[in-house]
Amino acid sequence: MQFNKVTDSIIKELQEIIGAANVVVDEEKMEMYSRDETSDKLWEKMPEVVIKPENAQQIAEIVKLANRELIPITPRGGGSGLAGGAVPMHGGMVLSLEKMNKIIEIDNENLFMVLEPGVTTGEVQKEAKVFNLFYAGDPCSAESSFIGGNVATNAGGNKAVKYGVTGRHVYGLEVVMPDGEIVTYGGKNVKDVTFYDMVHLMVGSEGTLGIITKIWLKLMPLPQYVADLLIPFPDMQSAIKVVPKIMTAGIIPTAVEFMDRISVLAAEQYLNKTLPYSQESGAYIICEVDGNTENQVQEDYETIGKLCMENGALEVFVADNISTQDRIWKSRKAYAEALRMISPVYCMEDIVVPISNIPAALDAIEKIAAKFECKIPSAGHAGDGNIHATILREDRDEHAWHDLKYAVLEEIYDAVYKLDGNLSGEHGIGAKRVSAMYKHMTEGQKKVLHTVKNAFDPNNIMNPGKVVLLGRIAE
């Protein structure tokens, strides 16, 4: 199916809808909208126009125009995605939500925040804290990603082990549907089964089923005590084998993260800070526990510390004040950026397996790295089985990199499916993983996916080529 080009008369119509200042056609200014954080030229494409609407009514008018003219629309949040989701792979308009960045309400009685999609995740966390409340969504990209992007990708993050991923905190959404209708699903009711669960069909739909323009986010009382543990192990297997033991010890940690040796050393160098045992250890486990009494938090971290020491840890470091906690989390959050110092181009994967299969998954990745003679550092959210295995390009030429990447990916995905896993735990499918996902889907699953997409977006204008393959597939 062919799309049309954005003509001068369409630009004029867009300027009439949102004002000339909110319509960008200058290539230099559009450059940052031609990519996300995927770090691969394959997933870059210059938009024909970037538009910055300020409210849902304007978006509705734009979507009607795009339908009439058959022009693709790619919604964009903070652009921190790692799957090429916000990149206009079929041209057309990039619709940036950056100007819809207001917190509309913090409702202390019902514990809700109602807000626009362009607020950064970090701002949501900070604002909730002012009221002694807590937003538990915590992606490592909190300072750059938008809450709308988090909802659209159903972002996971560091606290997902205890508090669940973004979708668990989303109770209502206002969405501009692909035909331009503005529809609200859910709201402040804590229980609500009066409909299909449209909120959670929209959550994680990666901009392919509509544009999220308002979000009802559940807040919680802020836990009063938090402690973090940094636990070096001599090697990766002994570190990772302790994770299922922690998870079945009768406590629910807030976070259980891991970093392998390459990631630890890269983070140290990037931050210019030394971490304990970084030279001797082969991997770190990072745990967080929280609660409302000091005793409970202490009991929980002592249980984890004892388990780790019994299972080969070199030491257990406890951080119970902001500055030491910050130091631990900075290294965990910076490792992805830090890897760019070793290899500016890389392919970060996001596989997920049942937690009891993490040791086997990491073993498989190590063997694949040895077979292809490449580096694949791993780090991630061990407590929920989500491993970011990152294939480094280093100094390979374009041709060698292309061949290596696809050969390695195929073997990693095959290994993951054999371990009852899946190919994305939190970053999503976007453009990057569509083909691989289709390879592993059943015919029944494909039919449902196409039927849903066609029912919502028969002209396929809404973020085409992402999640669902382009075209009117299921007639």
Ligand X SMILES: Cc1cc2nc3c(=O)[nH]c(=O)nc-3n(C[C@H](O)[C@H](O)[C@H](O)COP(=O)(O)OP(=O)(O)OC[C@H]3O[C@@H](n4cnc5c(N)ncnc54)[C@H](O)[C@@H]3O)c2cc1C
The contact set with ligand X (CB under 6 A) reads 36-37, 74-82, 85-86, 97, 117, 139-141, 145-146, 148-150, 152-153, 155-157, 206-207, 211-212, 336, 426-427, 430, 463, 466
215/73 Cα distance (integer angstroms): 21
Going from the C-alpha of 320 to that of each of 135, 157, 224, 254, 305, the distances in angstroms are 20, 21, 12, 14, 14
Cβ at position 384, least distance to ligand X in Å? 11
- Looking at the Cβ atoms of 143 and 315, the one nearer to ligand X is 143
390 versus 463: smaller Cβ distance to ligand X: 463
Cα angle at 461 between 460 and 466, to 5 degrees?
A: 70
Would you list the DSSP string of 114-179?
Answer: EE-TTSBHHHHHHHHHHTTEE-----TTTTT-BHHHHHHHT---TTHHHH--GGGGEEEEEEE-TT
Nearer Cβ to ligand X, position 359 or 465?
465
To ligand X, the closest distance from the beta carbon of 310 in angstroms equals: 30
Nearest to ligand X of 146, 163 (CB atom): 146
Least distance (Å) between residue 339 CB and ligand X:
10
Residue 138 phi, psi (nearest 5): -150, 65
Q: Which residue, 79 or 385, is less far from ligand X as judged by CB?
A: 79
Name the residue number minimizing CB distance to ligand X: 149
Minimal distance in Å, beta carbon 215 to ligand X?
Answer: 9
Number of C-beta neighbours around residue 190 at 10 A: 9
Strands 317-319 and 378-381: unpaired
Supply the DSSP symbol for 222: P
Which residue lies nearer to ligand X by CB, 157 or 186? 157
What are the φ/ψ torsions at residue 436 (nearest 5 degrees)?
Answer: -60, -40
Distance in Å, CB of 260 to ligand X, minimum: 17
Kindly tell me which of 244 and 380 has the beta carbon lying closer to ligand X.
380
Q: Pairing relation of β-strands 283-291 and 220-221? A: unpaired
Q: Whats the size of the chain, residue-wise?
A: 475
CB of 24 to ligand X, least distance (A): 16
Tokens of 229: 């543990």
Least separation in angstroms between CB 114 and ligand X:
15
